[in-house]
Chain A
Amino acid sequence: MSEGITRREAMGHAARGLAAIGLGVTAFHLIRKADGQIVWQLDHSRCVNSRLGAVGVNTCNLCTSECVVAQSAVRAVNDFSKCGRCYICPAYYNVTSAVDESGLPSEKLCPRDAITRTMIGDADPEDPANNFYEYVIDETKCDGCGKCVMGCKEPAGLGSIRLAVRHDLCVDCNRCAIAMACPDDAFTQASVAEAFERLETKGGT
Chain B
Amino acid sequence: MKYRLIRTISGRGQEPDQFTETLRGIAVDSDGRVFAVGDSAVRVFQADGRLLHTWSTSSPGYCIAIASNGHVYVGLAGQIEIYEADGTPITAWRDEQHLGLVTAIGFANTSVLAADANARCIRRLGPNGKLLNTIGDDNRRSGFLIPNGVIDFAVDRTGTIHAANPGCHRVERFAIDGTRLGHFGRFDGQDPSGFSGCCNPTNVAVDDRGRIFVTEKAGPRAKVYDSDGALLSVVADSQFELACKNMDLAVDSKGQVYVADTVKLQILVFAPQAEPAAAGNTAAPSEGDESR
Contact = CB atoms under 8 A, between A and B. Distances in A.
- Touch between chains A and B, by CB atoms below 8 Å: yes
Interface of A: 52-53, 55-56, 84-90, 94-99, 103-105, 122-124, 127, 129-132, 154-158
B187 interface: yes
Nearest to B199: A86
Contacts of A124: 139-141
A99 B190 contact: yes
A89 B187 CA distance: 12
B187 A55 contact: no
Given A86-B199, A154-B243, A155-B218, A105 B147 contact: no
Contacts of B197: 88, 90, 95, 156
Contacts of B147: 84-86, 157-158
Contacts, number: 90
Contact of B189 (A96, A130, A132): A96
| Secondary structure dominating the interface of A | loop
Contacts of A129: 167-170, 187
B221 interface: no
Contacts of B190: 96-99
B187 A155 contact: no
B217 interface: yes
B187 A104 contact: yes
A130 B198 contact: no
B186 A103 contact: yes
B167 A99 contact: no
Nearest to B140: A124
A99 B194 contact: yes
Contacts of B198: 84, 86-90, 95, 156-157
Contacts of A156: 197-198, 217-218
Contact of A155 (B139, B167, B188, B243): B243
B234 interface: no
A129 B144 CA distance: 11
A95 B196 contact: yes
13 contacts: A85-B147, A86-B167, A86-B198, A87-B167, A87-B187, A94-B189, A99-B190, A105-B189, A129-B187, A130-B139, A132-B145, A155-B243, A156-B198
